[in-house]
Amino acid sequence: MARGVVGLFAFVAVLCSASADTANKRQPLFAYEENPLTESTLRNLIINKGVGHGDAHLFAFDDGSVLDPNRLKRGACKVFPGDAEWPSDEKWDALDQLVDGALIKTIPLAAPCYPNLGAYDVEKCTAVVNNFSIPYLHENDPTSIFWPLYQGRTCMPTLKPSAGGSECTLGGSPVYAINISSVGQIQLAINFARNANLRLVVKNTGHDYLGKSTGAGALSIWTHNLKDLKYYQSLEIPGYSGPAMKVGAGATVKEVYQEAERSGVSVLGGICESVGYAGGYVAGGGHTPLSGLYGMAADHVMALEVVTPDGHFRTASPEENTDLYWALRGGGGGTFGVVTSIIVRVHPKLPVVTSEFTLETSPTVAADTFWQGIRAYFELFIPFTDAGTYSWFMLFNNGNGSYTFQMTPFFAPNHTIPSFEALIKPWTDTLRKLGIPFTPKTVSHESFYPAYASTWAKDVMLNSAGAVRVPGNRLLPRRNWEDPVKFNATFAALRANSEAGHLFMGYHQAPRNRANVDNAVNSAWREAVAFIILAGEIPENPTPADVKRASEQLRNEIIAPLRKVSPESEGGGAYLNEANVDEPEWQAAFYGKQYPRLLELKKKYDSQEVFYGPTAVGSEGWEVRDPDEGTITQNGRLCRV
C-alpha cells in the first residue's frame, strides 16, 4: 500500500475516534471484566498452562459450525457422569488449570451428616441442620439451592441419616462448579460445556423457585463472588446519561440498597434482601416496592455485560447488541448467556410511609364482616396503585372458623403520613363502620432503605430456605377491577380459596411501563394491579405422593380458578421468577406477548442449546428424566424431546 494511503487511513481513524465520542462514552468495566479472552489470548493461555494439544478444542470459541447434528436429535441427552463421552479426570484437570484452580468438585452441603462420602462430621452436620433455613448458608455454598425439592432431596440435613435413607448423593446438584472471579473463567466454562456437550447451569444465590440454578450432571458457573459495586453521580454511556450504579453479578439486593443509601439515591430492588440483583432478579423483570413510581427494575437497566453462548464477551445496550439488550431485561435468567454486571439507573431519595396492622375475626367480628373489610381493601387497588403504592399482605384461614389478615407493610413511597391517611381513608372508614378494630403502626421514613430495613428485612417468611414447598402465583389485571362483574368473580375466587383452607398472600402493585421502554418483561405485568402468591399445602418431610398431591392441588384447585378469571388472553399471567414449575402453557403465562420474539432470539444466540432451565425460553425442546418426585425436579439426565 502506498505511503499516502496508509496516512489517509490513520488520519480517518483519528478523526473517527475523536468525533464519534463513543470511545470515551463506552461502558466502564470492573477489573474482573477487563481481560476477556479472545482467540489469541485463549491460544496463549492454553500454551502457557501446558494444556495438551489434543485438548485445546475443548476450550475453543464457537465458530458457528454445527458441532454434531445428532446432539439435538430427539432422545439425545447431554453427556452424563458414567457415559463414555464424560470428560476424563485429565480433561477436568485441564479446565481447572485454565481457570486457575477455581474448579470445585461438588460436596453436598449436608454431606457431613452422612457416612458415605467421607465427610461425616457431627459438629458440621449440626450446624447445617440448625442453619438450613438461613438463605446465606446456601448462597455461600457453590451448589446448594434455596428449595431442595428441585435437587431431588437426596442429601437433606439430618442428625439421623438412617431414618431417611443412609446415603447422601449428588441428585440434581451439579458435578462441578467454577468459583468465578473473572470473565475469562466464564468464557472457559461455557466453551468447555458446549464443546464437551455437558449440561451447564448458572448459580448466583440459588433462590430460584423452579430449580433453574441446579442440574444433575452439570458444570455450574457460580457467580456469587462477583460482588463489585460502583456508584456514578453522572455517567455518560451510549443511550444514557445520568446517575447510575454498576452492579456485579454476585451482589445481593441488600448490598445494592446499602450502596444506594450511602450514595444518597434510591434504587429499584425486591423485598428479599438475600436475593441476587443482577442475576435472576433483573433477568426476570424484578418487581419492587418502588414499582408504583418507576415500573420494573429491568426497565431501568441501561446496559449489561454478558458472555454469550458462543463464549464471547459482549455489551448489550441501546446501541450494541440491541436485541440481546431487549431479551436480557425480562426474558428470564440462565437463557441467553451469563451476565457479568449491569448498569442500572438510580433515582433521587424520597420519603416513604410504611404502615403495618392486623385485621381479624373475633367475637365481635364475624367472618362475613371480616370479608367485607378485606373486600373494601381490594376494591381500592386502582386508586392505591395510581397513587404509586405497593403492599405485601398475608391472609390466614386459622382452620377454626377464624381469619387473620396481616398487612406487612403497606408501602407508600413519596407520601407523607397525611397524604397516606387520606389515600386509605375510604378503607379505614369502612373498617370503622363495620366495627373491625385495627391499630396501624404507621411510620414516616426519610428514604427507602430505612423504610425497607424496618419492615421486610425482618420478615421471617423470607428466611425460609430449605423449606419443601410447591409455590405458584397469578398476576391479576386492572380490567378485572374496572368491570364490576369481573371484580366480583375475582374476589369470589380469592375468598373461596381462603375459605377452602389455603394460605393466600399477595401484593397490590402496578409496575406499569412508566419509563416507557421496550423490553422483554411479561406483558401481564404492565396490566397488573395485584400479584397473588399461592402454595400447595405439604406435610413435613413429604413423600413424592404428598408432593404430587400438593402440586396437583395447587394447579387444579388453587391457581386454576384464578386463571379462569384472568386468562392470558385477557391480560392475566404469572411471574416467571416466583412461579410453579408445573404451570401449564407456561410460555404464555410467564412471557406473555414477548414469547415468540424471545424464542427467535434464543435460536439466534444459543443455536447449540448450551443453556437450559426449566420453563426458560426454548426449554420445551428438553426434558429432565427425573424419578417421580411429584413435581419436575432437576435430578436426572437432560434429554431432547
Ligand X SMILES: *[C@@H]1O[C@H](CO)[C@@H](O)[C@H](O)[C@H]1NC(C)=O
Ligand Y SMILES: Cc1cc2nc3c(=O)[nH]c(=O)nc-3n(C[C@H](O)[C@H](O)[C@H](O)COP(=O)(O)OP(=O)(O)OC[C@H]3O[C@@H](n4cnc5c(N)ncnc54)[C@H](O)[C@@H]3O)c2cc1C
Determine if 131 is a binding residue for ligand X (CB under 6 A).
Answer: yes
Distance CA 68, CA 74 (A): 13
Stretch that binds ligand X, among 7-15, 156-164, 465-473, 483-491 (CB under 6 A): 483-491
Determine if 573 is a binding residue for ligand Y (CB under 6 A).
Answer: no
Determine if 577 is a binding residue for ligand Y (CB under 6 A).
Answer: yes
Q: Can you spell out the DSSP letters for 31-45? A: GGGSS---HHHHHHH
Q: Shortest approach of ligand Y to residue 14 CB, angstroms?
A: 37
Distance CA 532, CA 559 (A): 10
Determine if 516 is a binding residue for ligand X (CB under 6 A).
Answer: no
Find the binding residues for ligand Y in span 229-258 (CB under 6 A): 249
Q: Which entry of ligand X, ligand Y, none binds 398, CB below 5 to 8 A by partner kind? A: ligand X
Distance CA 190, CA 610 (A): 8
Determine if 203 is a binding residue for ligand Y (CB under 6 A).
Answer: yes
Distance CA 614, CA 625 (A): 12
Determine if 130 is a binding residue for ligand X (CB under 6 A).
Answer: yes
Determine if 409 is a binding residue for ligand Y (CB under 6 A).
Answer: no
Q: Shortest approach of ligand X to residue 140 CB, angstroms?
A: 8
Determine if 569 is a binding residue for ligand X (CB under 6 A).
Answer: no
The dihedral formed by the CA atoms of 477, 481, 485 and 490, expressed in degrees to the nearest 10: 60
Question: Pattern 381-410, binding to ligand X, x per CB under 6 A?
Answer: -----------------x-x-x--------
Sheet (strand 103-105) strand order: 103-105, 176-179, 218-222, 199-203
Residue of 3, 162, 484, 585 that binds ligand X (CB under 6 A): 484
Determine if 206 is a binding residue for ligand Y (CB under 6 A).
Answer: yes
Distance CA 216, CA 638 (A): 8
Strand-strand pairing, 301-307 and 265-266: unpaired
Q: Cell for 638?
A: 437432560
Contacts of 352 (CB under 8 A, 6+ apart): 411, 412, 413, 414, 415, 444, 445, 447, 448, 451
Q: Which entry of ligand X, ligand Y, none binds 462, CB below 5 to 8 A by partner kind? A: ligand Y
Q: Shortest approach of ligand Y to residue 313 CB, angstroms?
A: 13
Q: Which entry of ligand X, ligand Y, none binds 568, CB below 5 to 8 A by partner kind? A: none
The angle at the Cα of 37, spanning 344 to 218, to the nearest 5 degrees, equals: 80
Q: Cell for 143?
A: 451448589
Determine if 184 is a binding residue for ligand Y (CB under 6 A).
Answer: no
Q: Which entry of ligand X, ligand Y, none binds 219, CB below 5 to 8 A by partner kind? A: none
Residue of 78, 194, 207, 495 that binds ligand Y (CB under 6 A): 207
Q: Shortest approach of ligand Y to residue 459 CB, angstroms?
A: 9
Of 271 and 494, nearer to ligand Y (C-beta) is 271
CA-derived radius of gyration, the chain: 26
Residue of 78, 194, 199, 212 that binds ligand Y (CB under 6 A): 212
Whole-angstrom CA distances from 409 to 268, 296, 390, 456, 473 are 17, 19, 9, 8, 19
The angle at the Cα of 275, spanning 284 to 277, to the nearest 5 degrees, equals: 60
Q: Are 579 and 573 in contact (CB under 8 A)?
A: no
Question: Pattern 127-146, binding to ligand Y, x per CB under 6 A?
Answer: -------------------x
Q: Can you spell out the DSSP letters for 625-637? A: E----SS--S-SE
Of 491 and 525, nearer to ligand Y (C-beta) is 525
Determine if 69 is a binding residue for ligand X (CB under 6 A).
Answer: no
Whole-angstrom CA distances from 268 to 31, 209, 228, 302, 353 are 25, 21, 18, 13, 17
Q: Which entry of ligand Y, ligand X, none binds 204, CB below 5 to 8 A by partner kind? A: ligand Y
With 0-12 CB in 10 A as exposed, 13-18 as middle and 19+ as buried, what is 339? buried
Alpha helices in 435-483, H assignment, sequence order: 448-453, 479-482
The angle at the Cα of 18, spanning 15 to 24, to the nearest 5 degrees, equals: 150
CA atoms within 13 A on the CB side of 71: 17
Question: Pattern 205-244, binding to ligand X, x per CB under 6 A?
Answer: --------------------x-------------------
Find the binding residues for ligand X in span 351-370 (CB under 6 A): none
Q: Shortest approach of ligand X to residue 123 CB, angstroms?
A: 8
Q: Cell for 596?
A: 415468540
Question: Pattern 259-298, binding to ligand Y, x per CB under 6 A?
Answer: -----------xxx--xx--xxx-xx-xx-----------
Determine if 213 is a binding residue for ligand Y (CB under 6 A).
Answer: yes
Determine if 177 is a binding residue for ligand Y (CB under 6 A).
Answer: no
Of 146 and 384, nearer to ligand Y (C-beta) is 146
Of 125 and 296, nearer to ligand Y (C-beta) is 296
Q: What are 77's strand-pairing partners?
A: 639
Residue of 248, 334, 413, 506 that binds ligand Y (CB under 6 A): 334
Stretch that binds ligand X, among 130-138, 190-198, 440-448, 610-618 (CB under 6 A): 130-138
Point out which residues bind ligand X (CB under 6 A).
104, 126-127, 130-131, 134, 142, 179, 181, 225, 293, 398, 400, 402, 414, 484-485, 488
Q: Which residues bind ligand Y (CB under 6 A)?
A: 146, 202-209, 212-213, 223, 249, 270-272, 275-276, 279-281, 283-284, 286-287, 333-334, 338-339, 462, 577-578, 613
